[in-house]
Amino acid sequence: MWRWIAAGLIAMLVAGCEPVPPVAVSPAQPTDGRLDAEAAVRNFVEVLTAVEPVAEAECARRTTGVNCDFAIFVDADPRAAANAFQSLGRSGQPRITFTIALIAEARNVDELAFILGHEAAHHIEGHLEIRAQTAAVGAEIIENAASQAGATGRELRRARHFGAFLGARVFSQEMELEADAMGARIAALAGYDPVRGAAFFNRIPDPGETFLGTHPPNALRLQAVRKAASGI
């Protein structure tokens, strides 16, 4: 099965990745480290084969009554930015999606392993459910406050949407750091170097100390990975 998947990915990388702008890099970082399409796909297939069963075992060990059968998808849209994200299928099956651009941008297997471990960790830690709960609480609180202030109709709907926006971000940065730490563990258990894998933080824009930002500063993320790796 992987042979057919690899062939398809190589074709998509060759045909679709050139128009995609590369991830922004610091001037101090080299810009010529991208792999050719065949090497990028070979790394991706290797990492999926090695890391997915480790992530599923870690999920089963840490949770009860949770679907740990991860399904991995590739977003073939050549316009999609370099990204990976976790979601749930209709049946509750955890899904992890990589964009073609991210597969092309990864410099080595360690980066892919850490990213896969990070996304799996979001599911293991139940972050989607937590975010939904805090969004619902935020929506209710702000809506009630607006109602007491005399808001009606459209104003109440806007207040509820704003409350959901705030609530969803209450623990967002903490959850990212949790996923970084557990992702480092999963990558290491699968035989990869999570500190080397987290080096991609040096190539992406740093969100810094942004108010209500969804991601913490890159320095904090690297620190979380190093701390987790040192304890394994």
Alpha helices by DSSP H, 169-230? 172-189, 194-197, 218-230
Per residue in 140-152, pLDDT (tens digit) is 777 667 667 776 7
Per residue in 36-89, pLDDT (tens digit) is 888 899 999 999 999 999 999 999 999 999 999 999 999 989 899 999 999 999
Model pTM score: 0.77
Q: Among the ranges 4-8, 63-67, 203-207, which has the highest mean pLDDT value?
A: 63-67
Sheet-wide strand order for 84-88: 71-75, 94-99, 84-88
Q: Which residue has the tokens 């994200």?
A: 85
d(CA 91, CA 84) in angstroms, rounded, equals 21
CA 1 to chain CA centroid, nearest Å: 25
